[in-house]
Amino acid sequence: AQSVTQLDSHVSVSEGTPVLLRCNYSSSYSPSLFWYVQHPNKGLQLLLKYTSAATLVKGINGFEAEFKKSETSFHLTKPSAHMSDAAEYFCVVRSQFSGGYNKLIFGAGTRLAVHP
């Protein structure tokens, strides 16, 4: 079975400093991995995705993530945090195709706070 573990429930950074949101995955095959962002009372927006191409994936708003198979990790980073980055972030793995469809499996989420 596939799963993701987000290692931090809360991360707090100062504006202009780097952001690191950690995610480890478990999968018996080469996974598809995603990072989504959710602002309060809003739907989800895709930041970036890994689908077995380049291991360093660049997304929107300056975010990027590196797929490391040896560490089963897919950490999300940004060089310089902005106040507007404050939100909930979800690491997601797509399940293996079964039963006629595959589905997204969400991590517990990491709440990012950005301080002036």
Min separation Cβ 95 and other proteins, Å = 10
| Per-residue x/- track, 45-64, other proteins (CB under 8 A) | xx--x---------------
Token duo for residue 51: 């689908």
- Contact between residue 94 and residue 104 where contact means Cβ atoms under 8 Å apart: yes
Contact residues for 53 (Cβ-Cβ < 8 A; gap 6+): none
Which one among 58, 69, 82, 103 touches other proteins, defined by CB under 8 A?
103
Look at residues 42, 57, 35 and name the one whose alpha carbon lies nearest to residue 104: 35
Query: Of the listed pieces 18-26, 61-69, 71-79, 103-111, which binds other proteins according to CB under 8 A?
Result: 103-111
Where does this chain bind other proteins (CB under 8 A)? 36, 41-46, 49, 90, 99-104, 106-109, 111
